[in-house]
Amino acid sequence: MTDRVVLVGAGQASAQCIETLRKKGFQGQIDLVGDESHLPYQRPPLSKKYLAGDLGLDRLTIRHQTFFDEHRVGLHLGRRVLGIERGNRRVTLDDGRSVPYDALVLATGSVARRLPLPGADLAGVHYLKDIADADRLRSEIEPGRRAVIIGGGYIGLEAAATLRHLGMEVTVLEMADRVMARVVAEPVSRYYEAEHAGHGVRLLLRAAVNNLEGDANGRVCAVNTAAGRIETRLVIVGIGVMANDALARSAGLACDNGILVDTHCRTDDPLIYAIGDCSNHPSLRYGRRVRLESVDNAFEQGSTAALNILGGDHQHDRVPWFWSDQYHHKLLIVGLSQGYDRIVLRGDPANNSFSCCYLQEDGELLAIDTVNQAKDQMAARKLIAARVKLDAAKAVDASIALKDCLLPA
């Protein structure tokens, strides 16, 4: 019988798990452990509105104190879990306390990938993963000041757009031959490269960084690349994240690019679940294991874990989606494009509204990238889940609704 649920990691996934547990009638003890002193908060705005000062901490918070009071949640904020005693069914905190559990939920998220180069630990070198990171960075933002961003993915480009909005001079260094190369097709990359250039961002592709140079006071003063030296007093590193699975590994749970779970969000210990960015789960739609870094995935897995803790038999089976806001453009990605055979472009990027469909050889729609094109992304969620096949000749015509571009069954 489950009377005590402990959640490790105070983010979107845990907040949703708690809400679902109580909504479905769980009356037992719930404890939430988070290594930050803050209540669960949204992370996507950290590189955008929060960094720009347009969104305060109060609006960033997912659930306020009254929620946790009303849902009778024991909060252990600013505390780290040092270990999991699976035999005794308890976790040990860094203040010496032990918290017992009948079901344990790991929602430990991800950690920023560190720059493995000389000078990476100099003052003025920033990462952007939590509120403390964003606050440190905000304290150094000044109009006219020069910043170098290492990495042309979501975080790097969102930060670049925000810093330009705040009047800074920005250079983005990307080692690939186009931005966001791992997640979008070339037409989408080229569109965003042109947008950033149009807003005054200096974008250097195929840029190999050798080291970061410091001054006599131990502060970064330049980034040395294979193509030359770039002077700067501010560097942001955005080269991806890794699953925060160290606690799970130390407890002997199976991990491989995240904590391995089944479709019910259970680890190889039936009393322990893993949800959100830290979990690696089987995708029923795509037939392979995936680890997803998205709010929607955290939300859905939080609900799934809660329902199964309560004795249900619920599988996590949802087409993933992601978004990125840069300047006044919204990029939405639905599905996973790996393994596609061709792309079909709907609309003209010059009009700032278009979509890029990823198709297999037989026309099956695997994924879609949309830029300022809400209708396509909304339709694609259902179509991708249904494994429909598109008539490419029709799909290129953006005046035809995506749902009307299907091949005959």
Would you state the pLDDT for residue 1? 76
Give yes or no for a contact between 402 and 383, defined as CB atoms under 8 angstroms apart: yes
pLDDT digits (tens, 9 = 90+) for 130-155: 999 999 999 999 999 999 999 999 99
Would you state the pLDDT for residue 409? 74
pLDDT digits (tens, 9 = 90+) for 219-241: 999 999 998 999 999 999 999 99
Q: How many Cα atoms sit within 13 Å of 238 on the Cβ side?
A: 26
Would you state the pLDDT for residue 37? 96
DSSP E strands in 254-319: the ranges are 259-260, 272-274, 279-283, 288-290
Would you state the pLDDT for residue 93? 98
Would you state the pLDDT for residue 326? 96
Give yes or no for a contact between 10 and 302, defined as CB atoms under 8 angstroms apart: no
| Helix%, strand%, coil% for the chain, nearest 5 | 25, 30, 40
Would you state the pLDDT for residue 105? 98
Identity of the residue numbered 136: R
Q: Do domains 114-237 and 328-404 have the same CATH topology?
A: no
Kindly state which CATH superfamily the domain 4-111+241-309 is placed in.
FAD/NAD(P)-binding domain (3.50.50.60)
CATH code at 114-237: 3.50.50.60
**Dihedral sign (CA 339, 345, 350, 354):** negative
Give yes or no for a contact between 141 and 166, defined as CB atoms under 8 angstroms apart: yes
Segments making up each domain of the chain, as ranges: 4-111+241-309, 114-237, 328-404
d(CA 191, CA 188): 5
Would you state the pLDDT for residue 69? 97
Would you state the pLDDT for residue 25? 96
Mean pLDDT per 10-residue section of the chain, whose length is 409 residues: 95 98 97 97 95 93 96 98 98 97 98 97 97 97 97 97 97 98 96 98 98 98 96 97 98 98 98 98 96 96 98 95 95 96 96 97 97 95 96 96 93
Kindly state which CATH superfamily the domain 328-404 is placed in.
FAD/NAD-linked reductase, C-terminal dimerisation domain (3.30.390.30)
